[in-house]
Amino acid sequence: MLVQMFPLILALIPLFIIFKDAGLINTYYSVILVYTLLNLPFATWMFEGFFDAIPRELEEAASVDGCTRFGTLTRIVVPLSGPGTAAVTIFTETSASGSHAVSTAVEERGVPSLGQGVGFPLA
C-alpha cells in the first residue's frame, strides 16, 4: 500500500536503471512486472474485503453437508466472490491502462501499451 502513496513518476528513473541493468528494456516483461507489483497489494486488499463478507455459516453448512474444504472453496466461496473478482479486474485494468508513464519509460522503440492498442492513442 505504500507504493500508492507516491506518484509513479517518482519511481521511473530508478525503475529504468534497474531494468537497464537487468536487460529488460524494450521487453513486455518489464511492463508486466511493474504493473503487477503496483496493483497486487491493492487487489489483495480488495479481495480480502470481499472474502470477509462471505458468511462463515455458509462454509460451516457446506462442511456439515459433507463438503471437503476444497469443495467448499469451489462450490461456495468462489461463486460468491464473482462480483469481487469483477471489481478487482476492472480496477486493475483501469489502473494499468491509464498509466502510460511506465510503458513509455521502459519501451524505447515505441511498443504500444494496452491503452494505445485498444483505441486510446496518445497525441
Tens digits of per-residue pLDDT, 43-97?
A: 999 999 999 999 999 999 999 999 999 999 999 999 999 999 999 999 888 877 7
**Does residue 33 form part of some domain?**
yes
Task: Find, among 93, 90, 101, 88, the residue nearest to 31 by Cα.
Answer: 101
- What lies within 8 Å, CB to CB, of 122 at 6+ separation is 100, 116
Range of the domain at 70: 7-105
**Does residue 51 form part of some domain?**
yes
**Does residue 87 form part of some domain?**
yes
- What Cα–Cα distance (Å) separates residue 76 from each residue in 10, 43, 51, 64, 81? 43, 21, 11, 13, 9
Report pTM.
0.66
Say which residue the cell 536503471 belongs to.
17
Q: What is the pLDDT of residue 1?
A: 52
**Does residue 46 form part of some domain?**
yes
**Does residue 98 form part of some domain?**
yes
Distance CA 39, CA 1 (A): 9
**Does residue 117 form part of some domain?**
no
Q: What is the pLDDT of residue 40?
A: 87
pLDDT tens by residue, 30-44: 878 888 888 888 899
Q: Considering its fold, how many domains does the chain have in total? A: 1
